[in-house]
């Protein structure tokens, strides 16, 4: 971990700056020319460059350089106390609050929520009778005020890890609670804590300086705050007195913040970068298909290639040379195992590949129009109107903050431009058509108030609202229970007949294919290995991979017949 951190230029630079500053501070008793409080009345407001007083002296005739060096120590001690208390309290409470029972959890949660809502600096001031103004005691209390930050991180990670199956597996293996916390939990929270500690050290130093600036605590303690305060009073007589402590304080806090940022990038990996919304898919090359060659199919995909950048920027192709065509009213099954590229192919047709994805070759023509390279606005007339989409996971595909009806109405209006009232009528009729028994009620429900099967009916209603010519369904029944799956399948089949839609059905389930598809394309690691009509693919698969897949199906007739094994050791 440390090697990784030191290889990062920003982390290395800020760490070196901090190391130099704090080592000089630690050596202050040895290298400082004067004591921090040694006042020489003859040197009051001595200018920069005075012999023995390289940075000058302050309003009491104290050497500024010496005071700066000693102030670094005060800052270091403040950061150390504040951060260690915060980490100790936060980690303990986070482990306890995350791992143990509900009562302990809600109690710690309540306590830390309370701690978080206390106005920090104000509280430290009110607590002066307790601390006596001593900056170490103050920073000790401040540690508690910082602790909620660490607590939140640890608790959230623990809650996440606790529900991980590997922690259950460890418990089943006979590991006690503390071994589980130590082995499986602490190793994961270490990184985020180091990052948070860097920011907290900065906050502690700034807060201590602020309090010293106000004059809280002993005047004997050299600190940036006290120096800034004295420099501020003297600003018009000797402006540099204000400059030095401000500069050093600025450098230290900036280094800590930048270090924290660098640590976050190196330890947590770079987060996804935002891209311009609606700018369309990234296309580096397309294959030109002359218009006269364009066949009469509704959708024609030629030589499609899709790639994702790897860690060092090279492109890894996940889809290669895919050719597909779907005729009007035809149901094409796109079958393959995970990682075969079937969903990527479907997404590229809809123009919704993730922003990292790159189209490296090919052409996707829908009704004689080239779809690759269009942005969201250019696709607006096609998507939702002529091509529609049914997703795999019903719940995550509904916006949790809007009522079901409002979401559907927005889609209908975007696609057809009808009035609000008309759209509402249409949506209610569609919900009814899609087998929802109380359309009004579902219309007014939020997504979390309806079941998964119901949500999938809602999404199907949304997709067929504009009577599209092509429906792209990505594993539309996989997330559902078997009995619900059959009902959804019935609904889909009825709608297909009624609306004469073509379908690109992405699935891994051959049962689904047998039920609904006219033709099948089999994909393996980014390539299509076989295309044919459904009957013949099942009856006489030509490609070895298709045969292997069909053979793997656990059919109706294989029932286990061998009796339970009686092993000699069974009674021991």
Partner 1 sequence: MSLLEIEALRVSFPGKGFRARPHEVLHGIDLEIGHGETLGLVGESGSGKTTIGRAVLGLVKPSGGAIRFAGQEISGLRGKARRGLASHVQVVFQDPYTSLNPSMTIGDILAEPLVVHGASARDARSRVRTLLDHVGLPSDAIDRLPREFSGGQRQRVAIARALAPGPKLIVCDEPVSALDLSTQARVLDLLVDIQRETGVAYLFVSHDLAVVRHISHRVAVLYRGDLVETGDAATVTSTPEHPYTQRLLLAAPVADPATQRARREQRKQFLASTT
Partner 2 sequence: MIPYIVRRLAAGAGLALVITLIVYLLIGTSFEDVARTILGQSATPEATAALLEARGWDRPILVQYVEWLAAALQGDFGASVYTSLPVLPEVLSRLAVTLSLIVPALLITATLSIVLGVWAASRGGVVDRIAQGVSVFGYIIPGLLLAIGLVVLFGVQLGWLPATGYTRFGDDPAGWARSITIPVIVLVVGGVANMSAQVRGRMVDELRRDYVRTLRTRGVSSRSIVLKHALRNAGSPALTVMSLEFINMFGAALIIENVFALPGFGNYAFNATLQGDIPVMLGISTFGVVLVTVVNLATDIANGWLNPKARVH
- In the region spanning residues 236 to 265, those forming contacts with partner 2, defined by CB under 8 A, are 242, 246, 249-250, 253-254, 257-258, 261
The site partner of 376 among partner 2, partner 1, none (C-beta below 5 to 8 Å per kind) is: partner 2
The site partner of 554 among partner 1, partner 2, none (C-beta below 5 to 8 Å per kind) is: partner 1
The residues that bridge with 365 in the sheet, in sequence order, are 300, 370
The site partner of 391 among partner 1, partner 2, none (C-beta below 5 to 8 Å per kind) is: partner 2
Closer of 30 and 567 to partner 1 (Cβ): 567
Closer of 130 and 540 to partner 2 (Cβ): 130
Closer of 443 and 510 to partner 2 (Cβ): 443
The DSSP letter of residue 50 is B
The DSSP letter of residue 326 is E
Minimum CB–partner distance for residue 447 and partner 1 (Å): 17
| Contact with partner 2 (CB under 8 A) among 6, 31, 107, 126 | 126
- The answer to the question of residue 548 lying near partner 1 (CB under 8 A) is yes
Closer of 45 and 261 to partner 2 (Cβ): 261
- In the region spanning residues 128 to 187, those forming contacts with partner 2, defined by CB under 8 A, are 128-130
The DSSP letter of residue 183 is I
Show the tokens assigned to 563.
């009796």
Minimum CB–partner distance for residue 177 and partner 2 (Å): 31
Nearest to 80 by CA among 13, 158, 26: 26
- The answer to the question of residue 122 lying near partner 2 (CB under 8 A) is yes
Strands (DSSP E) along 398-500, which ranges?
470-474
- The answer to the question of residue 448 lying near partner 2 (CB under 8 A) is yes
- The distance from CA 107 to its chain's CA centroid, rounded to whole angstroms, is 28
Matching residue, tokens 């309290």: 89
Minimum CB–partner distance for residue 331 and partner 1 (Å): 12
Matching residue, tokens 């401000």: 246
| b/e 489-512 (16+ beta carbons within 10 angstroms → b) | bebbeebbeeeebbbbbbbbbbeb
The residues that bridge with 283 in the sheet, in sequence order, are 359
| Contact with partner 1 (CB under 8 A) among 4, 7, 171, 542 | 171
- The answer to the question of residue 344 lying near partner 2 (CB under 8 A) is no
- Residue 548, exposed/middle/buried by CB under 10 A (0-12, 13-18, 19+)? exposed
Residues 6+ apart with CB under 8 A from 454: 436, 442
Using the Cα atoms of residue 548, residue 552, residue 553 and residue 557 in order, give the sign of their dihedral. Answer: positive
| Contact with partner 2 (CB under 8 A) among 44, 116, 159, 289 | 116
Instruction: Identify whether the C-beta of residue 153 lies closer than 8 Å to the C-beta of residue 188.
Output: no
How distant, in Å, are the alpha carbons of 127, 309, 310, 358 from that of 313?
55, 5, 5, 12
Instruction: Identify whether the C-beta of residue 359 lies closer than 8 Å to the C-beta of residue 281.
Output: yes
Q: How many residues bind partner 2 (CB under 8 A)?
A: 77
Among left, alpha and beta (phi > 0; psi -120 to 50; other), residue 404 is alpha
The pattern of x and - marking residues 397 through 416 that bind partner 2 according to CB under 8 A reads xxxxxx----x--xx--xx-
- The answer to the question of residue 9 lying near partner 2 (CB under 8 A) is no
- In the region spanning residues 470 to 499, those forming contacts with partner 2, defined by CB under 8 A, are 472
| b/e 385-396 (16+ beta carbons within 10 angstroms → b) | bbbbbbbbbbbe
- The answer to the question of residue 385 lying near partner 2 (CB under 8 A) is yes
Minimum CB–partner distance for residue 417 and partner 2 (Å): 10
The site partner of 125 among partner 1, partner 2, none (C-beta below 5 to 8 Å per kind) is: partner 2
- The answer to the question of residue 184 lying near partner 1 (CB under 8 A) is yes
- The answer to the question of residue 270 lying near partner 2 (CB under 8 A) is no
Residues 6+ apart with CB under 8 A from 162: 98, 99, 185
Minimum CB–partner distance for residue 306 and partner 1 (Å): 20
Binding part of the chain for partner 2, among 101-109, 297-305, 386-394, 542-550 by CB under 8 A, reads 386-394
Show the tokens assigned to 341.
């590229």
Q: How many residues bind partner 1 (CB under 8 A)?
A: 56
- The answer to the question of residue 275 lying near partner 2 (CB under 8 A) is yes
Minimum CB–partner distance for residue 457 and partner 1 (Å): 16
The site partner of 549 among partner 2, partner 1, none (C-beta below 5 to 8 Å per kind) is: partner 1
The site partner of 559 among partner 2, partner 1, none (C-beta below 5 to 8 Å per kind) is: partner 1
| b/e 259-280 (16+ beta carbons within 10 angstroms → b) | bbbbbbebbeeeeeeeeeeeeb
The residues of the shown chain that bind partner 1, judged by CB under 8 A, are 102, 164-166, 168-176, 179, 183-184, 187-188, 337-338, 481-483, 485-486, 489, 508-515, 534-535, 538, 548-550, 552-556, 558-560, 562-567, 569-570
């Amino acid at each position: 971990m440390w090697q990784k951190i030191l290889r990062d230029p920003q982390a290395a630079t800020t760490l070196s700056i901090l190391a130099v500053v704090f080592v000089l501070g630690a050596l202050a008793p040895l290298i400082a020319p004067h004591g921090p409080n040694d006042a020489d009345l003859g040197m009051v407001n001595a200018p920069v460059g005075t012999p023995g007083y390289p940075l000058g002296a302050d309003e009491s005739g104290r050497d500024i350089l010496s005071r700066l060096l000693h102030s670094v120590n005060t800052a270091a001690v403040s950061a150390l106390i504040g951060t260690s208390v915060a980490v100790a309290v936060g980690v303990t409470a986070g482990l306890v609050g995350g791992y143990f029972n509900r009562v302990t959890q809600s109690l710690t949660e309540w306590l830390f929520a309370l701690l978080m809502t206390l106005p920090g600096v104000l509280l430290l001031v009110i607590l002066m009778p307790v601390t006596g103004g001593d900056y170490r005691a103050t920073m000790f209390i401040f540690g508690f005020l910082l602790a909620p930050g660490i607590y939140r991180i640890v608790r959230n990670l623990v809650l996440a890890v606790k529900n991980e199956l590997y922690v259950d597996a460890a418990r089943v293996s006979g590991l006690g609670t503390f071994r589980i916390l130590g082995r499986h939990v602490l190793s994961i929270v270490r990184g985020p804590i180091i990052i948070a500690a860097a920011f907290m050290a900065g906050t502690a130093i700034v807060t201590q300086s602020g309090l010293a600036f106000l004059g809280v605590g002993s005047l004997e303690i050299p600190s940036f705050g006290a120096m800034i305060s004295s420099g501020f009073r003297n600003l018009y007589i000797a402006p540099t007195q204000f400059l030095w402590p401000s500069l050093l304080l600025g450098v230290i806090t900036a280094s800590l913040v930048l270090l924290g940022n660098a640590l976050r990038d190196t330890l947590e990996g770079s987060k996804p970068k935002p891209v311009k919304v609606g700018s369309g898919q990234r296309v580096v090359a397309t294959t030109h298909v002359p218009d006269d060659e364009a066949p009469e199919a509704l959708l024609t995909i030629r030589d499609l290639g899709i790639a994702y950048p790897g860690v060092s920027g090279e492109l890894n192709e996940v889809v290669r040379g895919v050719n597909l065509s779907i005729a009007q009213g035809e149901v094409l099954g796109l079958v393959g195992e995970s990682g075969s590229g079937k969903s990527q192919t479907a997404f590229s047709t809809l123009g919704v590949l993730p922003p990292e994805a790159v189209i490296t070759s090919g052409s996707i023509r829908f009704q004689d129009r080239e779809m690759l390279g269009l942005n969201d606005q250019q696709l607006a007339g096609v998507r939702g109107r002529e091509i529609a989409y049914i997703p795999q996971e019903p719940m995550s595909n509904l916006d949790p903050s809007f009522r079901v009806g409002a979401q559907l109405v927005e889609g209908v209006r975007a696609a057809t431009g009808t009035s609000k009232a008309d759209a509402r009528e249409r949506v209610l009729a569609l919900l009814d058509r899609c087998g929802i028994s109380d359309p009004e009620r579902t219309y007014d429900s939020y997504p979390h108030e309806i079941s998964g099967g119901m949500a999938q009916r809602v999404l199907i209603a949304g997709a067929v609202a504009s009577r599209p010519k092509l429906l792209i369904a990505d594993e539309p029944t996989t997330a559902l229970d078997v009995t619900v799956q059959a009902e959804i399948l019935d609904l889909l089949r009825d709608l297909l007949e009624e609306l004469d839609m073509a379908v690109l059905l992405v699935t891994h389930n051959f049962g689904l294919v047998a039920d609904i598809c006219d033709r099948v394309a089999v994909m393996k690691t980014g390539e299509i290995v076989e295309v044919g009509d459904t009957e013949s693919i099942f009856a006489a698969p030509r490609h070895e991979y298709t045969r292997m897949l069909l053979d793997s199906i656990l059919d109706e007739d294989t029932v286990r017949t061998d009796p339970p094994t009686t092993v000699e050791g069974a009674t021991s």
